[in-house]
Amino acid sequence: MANISFEGDAYALERRIELTSNSPGNHSVGRATYSKAVHLWDKASGNLADFNTHFSFVINSEGNVTKGSGMAFFLAPNGSHIPTDSGGGKLALYSAYLKPEFVAVEFDTHQTEWDPKDLGDHVGIDLSSISSSITCNWTLNDIRNGGRIETWIVYNSTTKNLSVSVVNGEESSYTEIVYCYLWQKVDLKEYLPEWVTIGFTAASLPTLFELHEVYSWDFSSSLQLPENLTNDHNQTGPQTPQPAPIFSGSRKNNYLIWIILTVCGILLLLLGLAWFFCWSNRTHRRGSPASMDVELENETGPRSFSFEELAAATNNFDDAGMLGRGGFGRVYQGFLSDRNSNVAVKRITPDSQQGLKEYAAEVNTISQLRHRNLVKLIGWCREKEEFLIVYEFMPNKSLYFHLFNNPCLLTWETRYRIALGLASALSYLQGDCDQCVLHRDIKSSNVLLDSSFNAKLGDFGLARLVEHGHDLATTELLCGSDGYVAPEYIETRKASKETDVYSFGIVALELACGRPAIFKYENNGVKCRKSLVAWVWVQYGSGNILAVADPRLAQNYIEEEVMRLIVVGLLCAHPSPLRRPSIGEAIDILRGRAQLPVLPLEITMPPNIATHHGNASAFSGSSSHSASGSGQGEFSGNNSSTQRSTSTTARSATIE
């Protein structure tokens, strides 16, 4: 670690960095910084650097509940040192005497007087102040056991966007996986000089002991130049960042991270172009067939495929490999030899104007999104009047398939993990993107399952981007699927965060009860249809809430979790949008961070739940699944014919 400088109690130990003392009972502060100055912006040209960094670290309280104070990744003026009186919650960053300049991402493990009340452990962005300008709750972590934490920080000098992604936990336990996503627009030239020091800082107290260990670190910057070189006055703009591994506890990991950072840089460039073209076209053009062509020509994604490539991958779109069929096209299983992987290829019907609009919406939307609980976009193709989208292949089909076609029984642990995964995806769409993404078609057949039965939300054909705090403008067609559409949307035709939360509530009830959103039953020989949410509310009111749990589970579940999932489902599917929780509040209830709310024992269901939830002809619905619930995930391994609800005969639903 010749390129790492240590200060305070920081030191190197067995190919890792220890930032603070490993002995309890001491005040300890430490810093580890890159030994070379980093060129953040160029005074001559005014260019500001793009940069990205990835690091793997551990905060370990060695089983102690009381812990502190945390650590941070920081940028500070070149030559910066640990300030006087900067221990404890000041994280060796801040001193009231000096008030130093810095920009930092903090991992705070102890509540202090300058933190928001009752926030607890959190990730925050600090701008020359130890009081974070923006935070993400991080209370459910594995610090007591020293779980490994992965962090990615990316700065885009064009948009001035500083984004942070944090992941920790084990794949095998949904209760331990924690994700934090936060971003803030900040002009770094307003906070930092041309040349900066970068690195890590940490602090602990005698009574609040924890270890702070960094295992690997990569950093790349578009203006990274040797400190003693003269600035190139002919440079007209930032150059492509070159990954610069600083150190790694494993040479193999170092190589892999180099590859990951390179790919991430390319993807960020492509996603930025996609966002620009999407915004520009929506602003200046309003969806006529001519403007549709222009918008599609500006599509961009992870990779552009030729039609010949996709025809070869799908055996010339052989019906034997068809996964699903909808009103606007078909989905085929394919194999890409260069990736050595299966994919799902959606082929849009050429003469379908609505299908082409959904193609544009889907590529424009999902190309900007990255989350472990969203179906991954592999690429797209527009060639020879052909419109195709390529997605990752989901071998375990859809949630609907496993809940209602009985291929195998999903255990309670798997169901609860799926609920949390879907909630995490919705939280990302509603709060962690530059614009709010309204999906408008959340249902169990659009919740796809990977090889480990992790949930991935798919089918963004009806999705729309809106500014945060705004609803979608009124639409002529009612989009969505029978049984999952919020009552106020049926009346107003305005989609909102609350309408997507309603759909999530219905899926939560399906997971708990093992019944579809609209299920059939016989009453004196007459076939009727019943709303799941109305039926569950009646059982809740009778005090017999566990009676609605899926009987196939044979009570092999955790009762408290069943109660939480059912109550969250009812609360999210409340007839009044004002009474529904935010998706973040729903997650807190599911994870046990908030008390289980008490719901009214009786509730009046709007008439449109009884009438519209059987009237599929009112819906512009989904491109690949039937409203009655027979649909499968369009990127999943199921050879079935499915269809959106566009022309089904209207029938009324009976609710007891």
The angle subtended at Cα 316 by Cα 313 and Cα 322, nearest 5°, is: 80
DSSP 594: S
**Distance (Å, whole) CA 448 – CA 632:** 9
**Distance (Å, whole) CA 82 – CA 30:** 8
Q: Kind and range of the H or E element at 563?
A: helix 559-572
Sequence-distant (6+) residues with CB within 8 A of 251 are none
What are residue 181's DSSP bridge partners? 165
Is 441 annotated as catalytic?
Answer: yes
**Distance (Å, whole) CA 12 – CA 246:** 14
81 close to 93: Cβ distance less than 8 angstroms: no
DSSP code per residue over 338-403: TTTEEEEEEEE-TT-HHHHHHHHHHHHHHTT---TTBPPEEEEEEETTEEEEEEE-BTT-BHHHHH
CA nearest to 18, candidates 26, 8, 85: 8
Q: Is 240 exposed, middle or buried (0-12, 13-18, 19+ CB in 10 A)?
A: exposed
346 appears as a binding residue in the annotation: yes
Torsion 568-572-574-580 (CA) sign: positive
Query: What backbone torsions phi and psi does residue 548 show, to the nearest 5 degrees?
Result: -85, -10
How many other CB atoms sit within 10 Å of the CB of residue 95? 16
57 close to 149: Cβ distance less than 8 angstroms: yes
Q: How many H-runs (helices) and E-runs (strands) does the chain carry? A: 12, 27
634 close to 346: Cβ distance less than 8 angstroms: yes
Q: Is 552 exposed, middle or buried (0-12, 13-18, 19+ CB in 10 A)?
A: exposed
Going through 205-352 in order, the beta strands assigned E by DSSP cover: 211-221, 244-248, 322-326, 329-336, 341-348
Q: Is 66 exposed, middle or buried (0-12, 13-18, 19+ CB in 10 A)?
A: exposed
CA nearest to 486, candidates 477, 476, 496: 496
Sequence-distant (6+) residues with CB within 8 A of 656 are 530, 534, 535, 538
DSSP 337: T
Which among 42, 115, 142, 441 is annotated as catalytic? Answer: 441
110 close to 89: Cβ distance less than 8 angstroms: yes
**Distance (Å, whole) CA 344 – CA 333:** 5
Cα dist. 52→102, 220, 223, 473, 495 in Å? 17, 6, 12, 37, 36
> Both tokens of residue 261?
């950072």
**Distance (Å, whole) CA 500 – CA 478:** 14
**Distance (Å, whole) CA 589 – CA 568:** 7
**Distance (Å, whole) CA 654 – CA 656:** 7
| Catalytic residue set | 441
Q: Which residues are annotated as a binding site for ATP?
A: 346
Q: Which residues are annotated as a binding site?
A: 346
